[in-house]
Amino acid sequence: LCPDMAITRDSITGHIIIDLDYCKGCGICAFVCPKGAITMVLEENS
């Protein structure tokens, strides 16, 4: 799903973990999420 391997599933809880250190903001995850649970929000650097 994520070309940068930024999304993983916790093997114990089953929760989805998004590692923002690897995420490049391409939006593929938000586009393909069947529940619409992922959204992309532009953040401005301050």
Q: What is the residue-averaged pLDDT of the chain?
A: 92
Query: Does residue 18 have a pLDDT over 90?
Result: yes
Query: Does residue 40 have a pLDDT over 80?
Result: yes
| Start-to-end CA span in the chain (Å) | 31
CA distance linking residue 45 with residue 25, whole number of Å: 14
What is the number of domains present in the chain? 1
Query: Does residue 17 have a pLDDT over 70?
Result: yes
pLDDT, one tens digit per residue, over 23-36 is 999 999 999 999 99
Residue 2 is part of a domain; what is its CATH number? 3.30.70
Full domain range(s) for residue 6? 1-46
According to the model, what pLDDT value does residue 44 have?
84
CA distance linking residue 6 with residue 12, whole number of Å: 18
